Amino acid sequence: MQDEVLPTAGSGKLDEFKLRDELRALRKRIPDTPALNPIVNLAFDLSRQLENNDISFDDLKAIATRLMDRACVQRARHLRERVGFVDRSTTYQEFADFVEGAAAAADFDTFKQRWERARTGIVLTAHPTFGLSDELSKRIVEIAVADEFDPNTPIGVPHRPDDSIDLAYEHRRAQNAIQNLRNAYVELLDSFFSAAVHRFGDKAYTLHPKLATFACWVGYDLDGRTDISWRKSFILRLTEKRASLADIRERFFAIRDDLPTEGEAQRLSRQVTGKLDLTIAAVDEQIAALDKVMNGDAELAQAANIITRQDGYNITTVEPIVSLLRSLAEQLPDGSQKRSIAVLAGLMEATGLGTAHIHVRINAVQLNNAFRAFVHEPWTRDLSESQALARIVSMIEGACKETVNFESLDLETATAIRQFALIAQIKKHVDRETPVRFLIAETESPATVLIAIFFAKLFGVDDITDVSPLFETPLGLETGTRIIERLLEERAYVDYVRGRGRLSLQTGFSDAGRFVGQIAATLAIERMHNGIAEAIANSDVKGIETLVFSTHGESMGRGAHPGPMQSRLNYLFSDDVRRRFADNGIPLKHETSFQGGDGYLFFANRRLTTRALASVIMDGEVPGETNDPFYEDEDLRLDFLGRLRTYQEHLFAHPGYRSVLSAFGANILYKTGSRPVKRQMDASGAVDRSAVSRMRAIPNNAILQEFGYVANVVAGLGAAVGSERERFVELARNSQRLRTLIEMIARGKQLSSLNAMAANAKVFDPGYWAWRASWGREPNIEPAFRALAANLLSDDRNGEINGLVHHLRLDAVELHSLLEEIGIDAGKIPDDARLELDLLQAIRLALIMRVFVLAAQMPRFATHDGISHAQLFDLALMLDVPAVVSEMRKAFPRRAHERGDETQFGEKATYRPHGIDDYGRIETEILTPMEQSYDLIREIGTGISHHFGAFG
């Protein structure tokens, strides 16, 4: 059935509140007009007004900006709620009560055991979610922490990322967040010592507390990218060392003036100052030397000789400074000065000679291939074989330590091996004791983990390197438990774990959620956690710490629960899993990621950061016993997981799902990071909409949000329930765990609109354009409508996407029915905020229509540089506007000198070449409006992401 498009009232001045009410009124007509799509209806009306000059592009931009501003304010206030920020005093009081409660309930030794091992951690990752400019991020945080706010507050800056996002930019943003974490850590550590001293007296100062850890992999993540050289990573590590020392120096100087001016305290104070100054000077010299090499002003050997020089000034351990600080604290009477010095020592012990710990990341394929090249023997072809595993174990046991220098590091071509050599040089010349995490993405075999341990031992860094397999692929989730079980059968692995004092692993919610659905992935990961706990309990490493790093994104589709921080943390790592580790006598540490610019918002302000860090620290306690019925019926739970996963796998394979992801691809998005959208880029310049499986999880989820329906979160619940509906509803009403999962589904559904998904497919419907041409209401652009209709006759995007919409609508009917029975609102009747999201969709759709109409008016040209007019038209219909405009300007170059320039010439002429004016019109009437529309299309995409609370 052809969708019905009904006329709507319009005027030259656009009022978002009237249009919002119009959308609401149109929605009420759907039961009597089933083919009506309010978003298409409104978009058509806006498009026709725009093409008839009844409204201007500036009118559309103005209303879109107001809507984006309102969404941005909502996002800011939601950030405040998610962090749990009330005010500073509330944060400090809650944390102080927490520590005082722990102190009151324990003797000193028990308290010491609890607090000298970090139970939780924060990891800032390099994921490309820098969709908000630095200035826009600051505005969001300003509104988030304000005591009062106006929902109509003008934001005053564009809703877009900064123009240039490279590794240096990402590193700077990460380090800004880390600095706030350091500030927050100091404040909370001060509160900790205050409570501990109150309970235990001066004995509290003998503690070496580790409240939590924070780490970062920006500059060290080489998974799927080759653009970060070892030199870049090493100089970043040096700058982080320098920044940490300068931070300690600044904090010490703020205390120093209040210290005694004579005696032992004064002598120690001068020693601290001198040690810091000399160390900073040594690091400055190292940075300057390597910087010259990177700028081509010096040879590597010159810098290497400076970095490796043994002059006594460079230090590779915090011990010399920490011991001076602790000695100084002993000389001071109890009070704020003594506590401040103890806090400073605690900060250094927690972070080492860096602003934070670092994580190095590569892919399992990179590591396996490097090993094959290193060994160069036939048995390495299949690393899953038992004999291959046995040979790797033998290599670990017989490994003789190799030494490296900067020349051998520079000559190494295998990325994986070079990363181990880099760690070796960091250990020797930067920091010899702070742990380095070695993350292996897409691990699917125990051999991969053992290979990493072999290289760690070969290069002498197995004492500081925590090899951590990442289980994130469908196969990895299925086999993760067995991989750990198999590793624990090998003495070489057990010895390595014992030597490190921890067993490290990582679970990935992002890619897993892309392939099997977010809820199914979460349940599969929880099941794997439980299996690993059992495997460790039955092994020789039972009493050794297990470190579980939950890697997830900032959107629901990538594993971020939209509720408060506690819900976010419990969603990733359930109370049941935590108790299972505790019941088996396994010390546990749980780390969680905050990814890219969206994740850094939690730490973009000191007050927000302190609240967030306090919540993470307090999450380290073992939860009390509860009887959650979700865990009582194993068969029901497994059936639910299996059916939900099957539904999502079929959904991912649906032609319409692929068409959603590939219709515009990443062209509808701003570039939000320095790494590529795909792990492997296409070599040809041809239009390719087929390789969506290579698309990374972030653009995958971002496109689902932009199309209006986060199917990998909300779809499949009805199918998963199956015939057990009554039992499931009763379970959902009484199970806290299941309710947490369903609340995320419900929130995703509140924001999702199948009308939006269908509307975004409308521009690919040849019937729509033929319909506009047939009525004769827009005679000036009827040829463009006919050209679009003719071009799209063989296009399958509209049909495939609408097929998906119908498939999902059947599921949505069941979902709404289930949620109503459970008693959870899923937004069946949209509120004002959702209608404003629909309005943004309609405005953007009108702009996409504008781009299509302009593209259909591009003049034909002879094929040049291998690009034809037809190919350019197709690119425009994928919104690859930059490529289209670039090629058009090559084909129709506009002269810089226009009419009026003839005054520069003494000789007059009456003839003017007609093509010059034609080319000028192409620029002003097609290309410039196309660029303007495209930029606003992408900016509205940011406005849509405000509603979802994250990009991708």
pLDDT tens by residue, 592-628: 999 999 999 999 999 999 999 999 999 999 999 889 9
Residues whose CB is less than 8 angstroms from the CB of residue 324 and which lie 6 or more positions away in sequence, other chains included:
268, 271, 272, 275
Domain residue ranges of the chain, discontinuous segments joined by +: 635-682+691-829
Q: Using alpha carbons, select from 948, 711, 708, 721 the residue that is nearest to residue 822.
A: 721
- Report which of 879, 874, 876, 890 is spatially closest to residue 923, judged by C-alpha positions: 890
Confidence of residue 641 (pLDDT cuts 50, 70, 90): very high
Q: What is the pLDDT of residues 217-271, one digit of tens each?
A: 999 999 878 889 999 999 999 999 999 999 999 999 999 999 998 999 999 999 9
What mean pLDDT is reported for the chain? 93
**pLDDT at residue 915, as a whole number:** 59
pLDDT at 897: 53
Kindly report, residue by residue over 802-847, the tens digit of the pLDDT: 999 999 999 999 999 999 999 999 888 999 999 999 999 999 999 9
Please determine, for residue 682, whether its predicted confidence score (pLDDT) is greater than 50. no
pTM of the model: 0.94
Is 711's pLDDT higher than 70?
A: yes
Averaged over 337-354, what is the pLDDT? 98
Shortest CA distance to 338 belongs to which of 190, 449, 176, 551? 190
pLDDT at 693: 60
The confidence score (pLDDT) of residue 133 equals: 97
Percentage of residues in the chain with pLDDT exceeding 90?
A: 87
pLDDT (mean) for 407-422: 97
Would you say 416 and 370 are in contact if contact means Cβ atoms under 8 Å apart? yes
pLDDT at 126 over 90: no
- From the list 913, 912, 866, the residue with the least C-alpha distance to 891 is 866
Report how far residue 326's alpha carbon sits from residue 903's, in angstroms, rounded to the nearest whole number. Answer: 81
Alpha-carbon gap, residue 449 to 452, rounded angstroms: 5
- Phi/psi class of residue 156: alpha, beta or left (left: φ > 0; alpha: ψ in -120 to 50)? left
Place 685 in a pLDDT band, splitting at 50, 70 and 90: very low
Q: Decide if pLDDT at 899 tops 90.
A: no
| Full 3-state SS string of 221-264 | ECCCCCCCCHHHHHHHHHHHHHHHHHHHHHHHHHHHCCCCCCHH
What contacts 271, CB < 8 A, 6 or more positions away?
A: 324
